[in-house]
Structure formats: C-alpha cells, structure tokens
Structure 1
C-alpha cells in the first residue's frame, strides 16, 4: 500500500500487511509488527485511509488507518485494561478472548496471550501456568503490546490484575471466592484451587 491516495476501496482484513514503517505511520486500526518493526498490519476489517503529514510536522510520513469498518465497539490498545476469558492454558502461556476494554465491550474478536513472564512481578521463573489460570476463568489484564498473529500480549503482573471470576472444577460449578493472592475456594464444597487472583479494587 503506497502512494498519496486518500482512500483505497479494497477491503482490508485483519492480519493483512498494509504498509511499511519506513514510509507510513500506523494509525487507528493498524499495528506495527513487533518482530521486525517494519511491516504495518491491519487489525480491523475496512478500507485503508492515508492522511498526509501536516505542513508543520517534522515527520514527513503519511498516516495510514483503517476506516469504514463495521465494528464500533472498543478496540484494545497498549496500556488498556481489559477483561478476557481464558480459552486455553499451556506450560508457557495462556490464551484468552478479550471481551471488554475498560467498561466497553468489544464487537470483534480480539485474542490475547498471557506469557509465563507476564503472570506476576516476582519469582517469574517459578510461575506455574496451570496453577495460575484455568479455561473459562475471567481475568483482568493490562495490554502490553500486539504480539504474534494478532494476539495481544497481556499482563497480570500487578496486584489488581489476574483472575476476577472462576468456576469451581469440583463438580458444583459454583463461582469461587478468593481467599488469598494465590487461592480461590468453592463455597459449596470448600475445595481450594490455585489461581493468580486479582486484588479487589
């Protein structure tokens, strides 16, 4: 995607390369590949709009953004606090679907990844992902960056971040109650399960 056109009517889809950082500044609905810091990708479905720099700007690159997309819901950005549902837990990371950005729900699917080093701030090498999250858990997390394959890197390292709601695996299916930073308890069976619990704020 290059040139001085105001708008390209070709439909762009999430994950598609729409430009290069050497000639364009990533705007709304786009993100910069964190690996090579060169390719700019679309994070929404829509049309590319390129806006020339202002005459007073020292940066002479145009800005590219995605417009005309159907979603008017919230969009995760670096530094956002999000609510996400854990979908899969592995030894080094957990996957989650982002449901809300702040108090606003999302209308498109945004995936998140919580890496082992981003679960908590201390004793990172001792983090057990299976003792921190279970599929179905609802977590409050901080968006660190846009990672691989359009999955946002999420962090639960602060005290107020982590699991905010979890169902007991004991068979009762009840919502558990936090009893410490690392444990939640089923109110029916009394069974205690490990989690990376979010401090109530």
Structure 2
C-alpha cells in the first residue's frame, strides 16, 4: 500500500502482516495495524533478510530538549501560521479548571482533509493555544470537566476558532471528529479508544476518560 506524504499521530499506516513497526510508529494491538506515533513523513526500509518484512518508520522532525532538529522538507522554512478555520494537531501541556493549554505542532488547511491526501505543515516552532472549557464540547457545556477530557501529553485534533490574544490561539474540539487522537495511560502505555469518552490501556485493561476524536 502507498504511504501518505505526511502522517499525524494515530494515523493508520499499514498492516503488521506487511510491515514491522519502526521508530516513530507503534502497533495497534486490537486491529494489528501500525500507526504513526509522531508527525512526519513515513518511510520504509526494505527487508535485509529473505522472508522478512520492510520496516515502517517516521523520522523525528521537531527539536527536543535532548536532540538537535533534523532538517526535513516537512518542516516549514518560514513557519506556518494557523488561521481561523485551520485544522491543527496539538499536544496538551497543562490542564486547568477553565481551560486546557496546548502547543500546535501541525497545521492543515481550513478544509481539514487530514489523513485523506490533504497536506499539512509541521510547524518549525510550537504555537501556544488554549481550549476553553466552553469550547470542549458542543452540548452540555456546563457539565464539562477539563480533567476528564484531556491529560498532559495527549495529542489532540482541533480547529482554530479565534486568533485570540498576543499569546494564544483559541481552539475548539466541539465536533465529533475533534478531540484526543492519541493518549498514554497513567501506567505509561499507549491506549486505544473504545467510545466517544474513553480510552483503554491494552496492558492493564484500565480505562481513562477523554474527549475522544471520532476515527475516520
């Protein structure tokens, strides 16, 4: 099968019957499908031995505290600016009672054709943004508890609804296809969604509440 030009965390890349998961990917146990763990351009390494399978991997594109950034055509030279209506992927950095702080990692066009051939730009810098309590869900907003929708480290799909102030963009996850697309459990294991409000740890069997994004 052909690989997408740009993958986002959680995107299915191929069956484990055809590939071996490499750096930047992980195996979804329930579906036996290899998914992207980070944003970037997927590649595969041909098998080195007869009868073995090629390895799927995604090179890390963004700088981290302990690694120098790796140049890539996926990273914008001028840094991509989110605009109102842009679909974005972001990482949760702090959960407060009235808002969730995130950093934007990938910006897509307003049509939001992510994962279906649409092109996204990995940000050279991380843009600060917030998801206010009233923008988490479209209904029963008064019942929303931010800590039951997000945890630090979650990867979230959202839409920019306002350029906000000088410090933050404002995002919404108030649609079915928006919300957490990748999360780790308190035990540190990658989880998979089992409903619109829960992820499950395949190792411990424990479930955790999230504002889950509807899969494609």
Asked if TM exceeds 0.5, the reply is yes
Alignment counterpart, residue 104 of structure 1, candidates 121, 136, 141: 121
Alignment counterpart, residue 180 of structure 2, candidates 163, 174, 195: 163
Aligned-residue Cα RMSD (Å) equals 1.2
Give the equivalent residue in structure 2 for 1:187.
Answer: 202
The range that moved more, 78-87 or 142-151, is 142-151
CA drift of 1:146 comes to 1.3
Instruction: Tell me the distance in 1 between the aligned counterparts of 2:134 and 2:140.
Output: 9
How high is the TM-score relative to the length of structure 1?
Answer: 0.63
Give the equivalent residue in structure 2 for 1:72.
Answer: 78
How high is the TM-score relative to the length of structure 2?
Answer: 0.58
Q: What SS class does the counterpart of residue 195 from structure 2 fall into?
A: coil
CA drift of 1:148 comes to 2.7
**1:139-185 CA deviation, whole Å, 9 max, x = no partner?**
0000001113320000000000000000111x2x1110100000000
Q: Which structure is higher in strand share?
A: 1
Give the equivalent residue in structure 2 for 1:43.
Answer: none
Give the structure with higher Rg (CA). Answer: 1
Equivalent residues of 1:93, 1:115 under 8 A apart: yes
CA drift of 1:74 comes to 1.9
Give the equivalent residue in structure 2 for 1:124.
Answer: 141
Give the equivalent residue in structure 1 for 2:92.
Answer: 86
**1:85-140 CA deviation, whole Å, 9 max, x = no partner?**
00000001000000000221011231110000100100001000000000000000
The reply to whether residue 151 of structure 1 matches residue 153 of structure 2 is no
Alignment counterpart, residue 175 of structure 1, candidates 175, 181, 190: 190
Instruction: Tell me the distance in 2 between the aligned counterparts of 1:71 and 1:124.
Output: 39
Equivalent residues of 1:71, 1:108 under 8 A apart: no
Equivalent residues of 1:73, 1:107 under 8 A apart: yes
Q: Aligned pair count? A: 130
Which residues of structure 2 form unaligned runs of 5+?
Answer: 1-75, 109-119
Which residues of structure 1 form unaligned runs of 5+?
Answer: 1-69
Instruction: Tell me the distance in 1 between the aligned counterparts of 2:91 and 2:207.
Output: 21
Q: Any runs of at least 4 consecutive aligned residues in structure 1 with deviations exceeding 4 A, and if so which?
A: none
Equivalent residues of 1:80, 1:101 under 8 A apart: yes
